[in-house]
Amino acid sequence: MGKEISLHNQTFSLYLDEQKIRERIIELARNINEDYQGKSPIILCILNGSFIFTADLVRHLDFPLTIEFVRYSSYEGTSTTGRITKIMGLKSDIEGKDVLIVEDIIDTGLTLSNAIKDLLKSNPASLKVASLLLKPSALIHDIHCNYIGFRIPDKFVIGYGLDYDELGRDLPEIYQLKDQA
């Protein structure tokens, strides 16, 4: 049996270990480095879930960059509420700048499609998206993700920044909810 952990009375099984995550981030960074040579983009970390992915990714990027943080909220427990609230916005002007959004996971795509709409109002020079995880079968909003770490099944995952009611963000690996239909 694989490694398991319990949080808030739910059991999660190990899904992606530290090495797999590290190796994939290095590959993603290689692609991003090729595309951004000669540019100096704003890396936009979508809080809270992306803080670890952003921190690991930027350490493999080899062009000058700035980092900004924004925060939207849509999740309660293990299923989406369908509502998005902006809790914390951008500190600097992105007009005419290259912006790379860094997201932890794209589920329905609601959070990201709202964030993109919001950011496009400020006329960035370019807007791209890097997401560590993507659940293709849950995606209902039409969004283009330029850099995808892992395509995963539509099951609730935690760890590596992702929480289950605020617990589990600190786990170095990614775990999947056990016995989810």
Dihedral angle at the C-alpha atoms of 92, 97, 103, 108, nearest 10 degrees? 110
Rounded CA-CA distance 52/64 in Å is: 20
Q: Which of 62, 107, 118, 163 is catalytic?
A: 107
Tell whether omega for the bond before 123 is within 30 degrees of 0, i.e. cis: no
Rounded CA-CA distance 62/67 in Å is: 14
Catalytic residue flag (residue 107): yes
Neighbours of 101 (CB within 10 A): 22
Judged by CB under 6 A, does residue 109 bind ligand 5GP? yes
Judged by CB under 6 A, does residue 105 bind ligand 5GP? yes
Judged by CB under 6 A, does residue 13 bind ligand 5GP? no
Pick one of 162, 173, 174, 175: the residue that binds ligand 5GP (CB under 6 A).
Answer: 162
The pattern of x and - marking residues 39 through 78 that bind ligand 5GP according to CB under 6 A reads ----------x------------------------xx---
Judged by CB under 6 A, does residue 108 bind ligand 5GP? yes
CB of 74 to ligand 5GP, least distance (A): 5
Judged by CB under 6 A, the number of residues near ligand 5GP is 20
DSSP assignment letter at 41: P
Rounded CA-CA distance 147/17 in Å is: 20
Residues at the contact surface with ligand 5GP, assessed by CB under 6 A = 49, 74-75, 80, 103-112, 156-158, 162-164
